[in-house]
Amino acid sequence: MGRRKLTSFRVELSLQPTLYSVIFFSLLAIVLAFACGSIIFLFYHISPWIAYQTFFRGAFGSWYAFSETLKRTIPLLLVGEGLALAFRAQVLNIGAEGQILLGAVAATWVALFSGLPSFLLLPTMFLLGFLAGAGWALIPAFFKTRFAVNEVLSTLMLNYVASNLVLYLIGGPWKGKGVRGFTYTDTFPEAAWLKTMGITRVPYFTLLTGIVLAVGGYIFLKKSALGFEFRIVGNSSETAKLLGISEEKIVLFAMFLSGGLAGFAGVGEVAGIHHLLRHPDHISLGYGYTAIIVAWLARANPLATIFTSFLFGALLSGGDALRVSLGIPFQVVSVFNGLILFFLISTERLSRYRIIWGEEKAVERSGS
């Protein structure tokens, strides 16, 4: 006879997942997405090893590649942290793509048609761009609070309205004087250009602003009274009612902030990258949709969007390298985005379980 020790444990469902479980299952979702992505490369008769080498070189292999990753990170960071704030209050803003475009439209009007002095151009562009994005987001927020219209549908439909508005402007009243073939506006005066880091196309103002706002958003949610109301409304609308918190106020403010930051990102794109208004697909490479996954992967934590936006910035930059070097359609990047979102949703429930370990117990063991 012998004795051995067994450690008892039990599995419990937690209301809030732990930090470790969130990190583990987020990384697991990314790994599973990349593993499934290998099937796509095999379909194109390309070794996944070669494909991923090309991908990482395109995202991090040189200073130019890294700067292109940073360039794509900036709008994802600005939009993602705004969506993180909205998602924390259970406000599902799916219209950031259109709000980016409205910010770009407002900035273009200031740069080309306002007649303001040079030193006022950039501050006014960012102010009006923020307000334009916020105002566009308040339209579905109004219909949600007054008529219970689902904000997912209304914000999504407004994306197409914004896109067609841009197409109308660049092909009609705002079309550049010397434009032939492609449609876009005249180039902004240099006073309306953002300064970039060295010879790169990375506007340092929007990059630093995005990082500062991510930290500020985290402090806002954790330390301020209004941030507390965001969290209460997001966790339970019934509790919010018992505490006298106005859910309508939170919905309107959440949409205002998230839409405004998307509009701010739109200004950054036209002032820092393009220096004119052009086709919607060139102003935003699907940033508004990708930022939804950025905010989701960050678990609606504005501070974490610094890291998740950089991840997806690398995904977009590496996707460019795959397209140019290996001839793989750029839409493959969208497949990766979809796979990551799919696995994030799939593992969301698992992240809420935790293992509780008990004390060791001695048990009898028969021996020969």
Say what the pLDDT of residue 332 is. Answer: 79
Residue 28 has pLDDT above 90, yes or no: no
Say what the pLDDT of residue 93 is. Answer: 97
pLDDT, tens only, 188-230: 999 999 999 988 999 999 999 999 999 999 999 999 999 999 9
Determine the Cα angle at 46 with ends 297 and 30, to 5°.
Answer: 10
Q: What is the pTM of this model?
A: 0.90
Residue 135, exposed/middle/buried by CB under 10 A (0-12, 13-18, 19+)? middle
Say what the pLDDT of residue 160 is. Answer: 97
Q: Which residues lie below 8 Å from residue 234, measured CB to CB, with a gap of 6+? A: 87, 88, 89, 90, 300
3-state secondary structure of 184: coil
Residue 347 has pLDDT above 70, yes or no: yes
**What average pLDDT does range 258-280 have in this prediction?**
97
Say what the pLDDT of residue 219 is. Answer: 97
What is the Cα–Cα distance from 212 to 219, expressed in whole angstroms?
Answer: 11
Q: What is the DSSP string of 303-366?
A: GGHHHHHHHHHHHHHHHHHHHHHH---THHHHHHHHHHHHHHHHHHTGGGEEEEEEEEEEEEE-
pLDDT, tens only, 45-57: 889 999 899 999 9
What is the Cα–Cα distance from 191 to 117, expressed in whole angstroms?
Answer: 9
Say what the pLDDT of residue 23 is. Answer: 79
**What average pLDDT does range 70-79 have in this prediction?**
97
